[in-house]
Structure 1
Amino acid sequence: MTQTATYPDLDGASVFITGGGSGIGAALSEGFLRQGAKVAFIGRSDATEFVDEMTRATGNTPLFIQGDITDIAALRGAMDQAAKAHGPVTRLVNNAANDQRHATLDVDEEFYDWSQSINLKAYFFACQHAIRGMKSAGYGHIVNFTSISYMMGNAGYAIYTTANSGINGMTRSLAREFGPDQIRVNALAPGWVLTRKQLEKWADPDSLAAHLDRQCLKDHLGPEDIVNPTLFLSSEASRMVTGQALVVDGGVAVTG
């Protein structure tokens, strides 16, 4: 990964990332580690090899806590473990999500609850728990990952797009509520980022070509393209930015 900017306030900062061991999350972990941050992340799959890789590549060792973000007690416990190791979490990145495709007429309550537990409920409770510590620290920065899928009105995963839209509403309300505590809350909406999962499951040549045709910039997005915008929102470089949704998609969705 090429580091294009340095944010001095991230050096030594306590960062917690959900899903920080794979896909976009792994790139985020590396980006923060290269800034000198103290990074902790939670993930369901064993990330020991990734931790070793990051130690070799960055000289900075992340704290991996294995767990499921839909288990709210485990999520809170992981955040407490991170705070004990690194000091109060002052940067939270809610990244973990699951964009499992589904046909609306086939959805039952079990699938609905499962999807929302990952894509919205865990985000709220991670924010809630982080904010308690940020209030004691006197400041904090939260980045909630959403997606342009709801802006585009995409079909094929209505529960996921519903959660994406909800994340934006939650972000704005939390920014308003906790701004007086010097806590900034922003959303980041990536476009189609070609992680290994996307390439294996849904990125067939025709779909890729059609999506690229919609982009102003004719390059596919990779996980590394999301790192610098996240670092910016997590640093004092964006000191007066809060309650916003930053779109990083090569120019598909137009905001403003």
Structure 2
Amino acid sequence: MTDHTSSPHAGMARYPSLSGRTVLVSGGATGIGAGFVEHFAQQGARVAFLDIDDAGAQVLLDGLGPVDHRPVYLHCDVTDLDALRTAIAEARAQVGPFSVLVNNAASDHRHAFADTTAADFERNMAVNLRHQYFAIQAVAADMRTLGGGSVICLGSTGWMIKNSGYPMYAMAKSAVHGLVNGLARELGRDHIRINALVPGWVITEKQKRLWLDAEGEAELRRAQCLPGYLQADDLARAALFLAADDSRMCTGQEFIIDGGWV
């Protein structure tokens, strides 16, 4: 992710349609989510973001450079659907009806197939899939009132490349594609676009700390067509396009950002 103390990135595309646009980001305190919050704010959007990491959210807000509208943070566990609905309502009251939803919150916690319990399964689906569905439901009326909108659901290439170590996460992320396709026509009647933004291995601080070892570095060099680390900024720039009017005829699609791995 970029240095939050920097000014808007030199050479980065500007989207006039995003100026003043209302954006909701789930899981926005750190990592990829913080990249979304930062980039939308730098475009002049009115951003609200949800997370349970209060400390991370404060670091993001403290380090954010000059923007037209300071992002609004609300503490929310997205696996609690009542709390999710309440937080979205509170965010709406502060920034206005939402034109853009970025369904980002997720957890790629490693787990073993043989040890999975029913409770584990329910928790995993709640954090990686269920909240995306109900967040869309909560903002769809906003978008209809506004005459249209954009929903961006975060998928993953992890299930496409048949990685081991997180079968429930892989299943949930593959289902995001079904969610996007299943709602594209229904939402499209009201000029609401819905797309999947599908990252490869994004090298966040968490990934460096937990999983990027010498073997991982070698796999990146072998598998990616493009050299270098995929970063949160790369996802954020794609999200800006999908939220802006420039993508007005894009819906029901998968936008893979992975350096050419898949």
TM-score, scaled to structure 1: 0.95
Deviations 1:12-32 (A, max 9, x none): 001000011100111110000
1:31 maps to which of 39, 50, 63: 39
In the alignment, is the contact (CA less than 8 A) between 2:44 and 2:68 conserved in 1? no
| Identity %, equivalent residues | 40
1:240 maps to which of 236, 243, 249: 249
Match of 1:111 in 2: 120
CA displacement at 1:45 relative to structure 2: 1.3
Match of 2:93 in 1: 84
In the alignment, is the contact (CA less than 8 A) between 2:85 and 2:138 conserved in 1? yes
In the alignment, is the contact (CA less than 8 A) between 2:157 and 2:199 conserved in 1? yes
- The answer to whether 1:131 aligns with 2:140 is yes
Deviations 1:25-72 (A, max 9, x none): 111100000000000000001122322222x44353100001101011
Secondary structure of residue in 2 paired with 1:144: strand
- CA distance in 1 between counterparts of 2:203 and 2:220 reads 12
In the alignment, is the contact (CA less than 8 A) between 1:185 and 1:243 conserved in 2? yes
- CA distance in 2 between counterparts of 1:100 and 1:181 reads 37
Query: 72-81 or 89-98, which moves further after superposition?
Result: 72-81
- The answer to whether 1:200 aligns with 2:217 is no
User: AA paired with 1:50?
Assistant: L
Match of 1:53 in 2: 63
- CA distance in 2 between counterparts of 1:200 and 1:111 reads 24
Task: Count the aligned residue pairs.
Answer: 252
Deviations 1:73-102 (A, max 9, x none): 111111111211121101000011000111
Secondary structure of residue in 2 paired with 1:5: coil
In the alignment, is the contact (CA less than 8 A) between 1:82 and 1:89 conserved in 2? no
- The answer to whether 1:43 aligns with 2:44 is no
CA displacement at 1:208 relative to structure 2: 2.2
User: AA paired with 2:33?
Assistant: G
Deviations 1:118-161 (A, max 9, x none): 00001111111111221222211000000001111111111001
- CA distance in 2 between counterparts of 1:127 and 1:38 reads 18
- CA distance in 2 between counterparts of 1:126 and 1:45 reads 19
- CA distance in 2 between counterparts of 1:5 and 1:65 reads 28
- The answer to whether 1:168 aligns with 2:177 is yes
Match of 2:17 in 1: 9
Secondary structure of residue in 1 paired with 2:189: helix
- CA distance in 1 between counterparts of 2:242 and 2:217 reads 29
Distance 1:59 1:49, change over 3 A: farther
CA displacement at 1:211 relative to structure 2: 2.6
2:166 maps to which of 130, 154, 157: 157
Secondary structure of residue in 2 paired with 1:151: coil
In the alignment, is the contact (CA less than 8 A) between 1:52 and 1:61 conserved in 2? no
User: AA paired with 1:177?
Assistant: E
> Hey, which bits of structure 1, 4+ residues long, moved more than 3 A?
56-60
Unmatched tracts of structure 1, length 5 or more: none
User: AA paired with 2:219?
Assistant: A
Query: 63-72 or 198-207, which moves further after superposition?
Result: 198-207
User: AA paired with 1:42?
Assistant: L
- CA distance in 1 between counterparts of 2:239 and 2:218 reads 27
TM-score, scaled to structure 2: 0.93
Give me the CA root mean square deviation: 1.2
In the alignment, is the contact (CA less than 8 A) between 1:148 and 1:191 conserved in 2? yes
